[in-house]
A and B are shown apart, each in its own frame.
Chain A
């Protein structure tokens, strides 16, 4: 799978790292596997690192994302925060489109372009070192 995940309970986040060609289907399959992980807790912040990935997301992936978010609403669950790290214009377009398409609850998807931006976005300047150690170890596949 061109995308793998790591969970950090202390930082309350799940990090997906994509490498090579990543499709929407790859992401959703991995997210489904991660959802069964015993460390996975609802409410974790999801970070999707696409810095080393080429992405191929289609209209049906967007429909799936909206349907998934709507299904959370039916279960009275708050959608989780998802942050993608990417400078891809295509992903930016998808993100904008997702926010424009009708859904019962707003999709919490944000984009940042760098790790520094991510740290500012999350407000974890004080935990910067802890986060970077975690991030680097995941990147290196440890």
Chain B
């Protein structure tokens, strides 16, 4: 915990000038917004541990304000994520898909999508015949509203496999 924010420590180095006082230079990533800051601490200072845990949860539904998830461990435990916690993952949200939920003090801090999701195309220009082997691409809108670049032969109604880390089209599902 730093400044009331849950953080993960990316790097921690010990520095000691000559006969002087010892310090630790620490790189912290804010788990809420992903920002990285560098801070110096007096050696031996301690920070409160953040009560953070990760859970695999299945996406259930959106009630207009919150997105609801259910634990897959058989406990049927449910948690609701705010728009802020959901962040960009909203683009890859699909019912019955499993997401990694980070809980902080029992509330949803972040929602991480699986590396690959399969989503259906709802809008794109008509496919071009004979273009299956050619390069070139066009935008396609998916059921979630996400827009990805796809090959020219893709049609509305096709199911696509998307890499959520890059937002790239991988293959037809």
A binds B: no
CB within 8 Å of B: which residues of A? none
